[in-house]
Amino acid sequence: MHSISNHVADVQTRVAHAAERSGRTRDSVRLVGASKAQSVDVIRAAAACGITEFGENYLNDALPKIEALRDLSLQWHFIGAVQSNKTRDIARYFQWVQTLDRAKVAQRLSDQRPDDSDALDVLIQINIDGEPQKAGIAPEALAEFAAQLLHLPRIRLRGLMAIPRPESGADAQRVAFRRMRELFERERPAAATHWDTLSMGMTQDFETAIAEGATMIRIGTALFGPRGARRDG
């Protein structure tokens, strides 16, 4: 557990420096711990070091963790593929869904969001590199898709999320992030009152993402160490 606190401190320092280099404040970047494959104890240790938001990819893995950590007031982000038969529990147990790319799923999440919770915060996932195997909508489809979400009463459209193709070196990484940033600024829907979140950047590229305007980064390996059995989605 000691190494978690070192990792958290290291990531926090790197985030602060990346923000500072771009003339931004540390507060302008939200850090979400990508905690897939991490145990309740590991998440609790990270929370003790000040991480308050966690992202999970698989509902069945996430629910027992959310339940076991209810004594902490953590925010949970769904960052995996949303299957339409899982929307009820996602709408109930998560505060954010970052991977919206189907209107039917959005409709179900809105319909199923419990009345005693705030509206569900959502991001539209963009397939920014046009990779056939990857989730997300095409950039050209954004305006029309966003328009379909804005009338749904129980979800609140906050912005965009992307997982660009991994590249090494800041110059190569920058390209997709910059296109995301331009899309985020250009396609702000007139009716979106909370359009404030651009989620991009992971362990390999979060400093470049911050330099290009990310307001939210999702970090797994740099916080928790390498995942054992990898089953990323």
Ligand X SMILES: *Cc1c(COP(=O)(O)O)cnc(C)c1O
Contacts with ligand X by CB under 6 A lie at 34, 36, 57, 79, 163, 202-204, 218-222, 232
In the complex, the smallest distance separating the C-beta of residue 201 from ligand X, rounded to whole angstroms, is 8
In the complex, the smallest distance separating the C-beta of residue 130 from ligand X, rounded to whole angstroms, is 18
**Paired strand residues for 197:** 159
Dmax (CA) for the chain in angstroms is: 48
Is residue 146 classed as helix, strand or coil in its secondary structure?
A: helix
Euclidean distance between CA atoms 223 and 150, whole angstroms:
35
Euclidean distance between CA atoms 196 and 192, whole angstroms:
9
In the complex, the smallest distance separating the C-beta of residue 34 from ligand X, rounded to whole angstroms, is 3
Nearer to ligand X, 151 or 217 (CB): 217
What CA–CA distances, in Å, run from 9 to 12, 14, 87, 229, 232? 5, 9, 35, 25, 25
Nearer to ligand X, 116 or 172 (CB): 172
Nearer to ligand X, 151 or 230 (CB): 230
**Nearest-5° angle of CA 33, CA 38, CA 43?**
55
In the complex, the smallest distance separating the C-beta of residue 137 from ligand X, rounded to whole angstroms, is 16
Select the residue whose beta carbon is closest to ligand X and give its number: 220
Nearer to ligand X, 75 or 150 (CB): 75
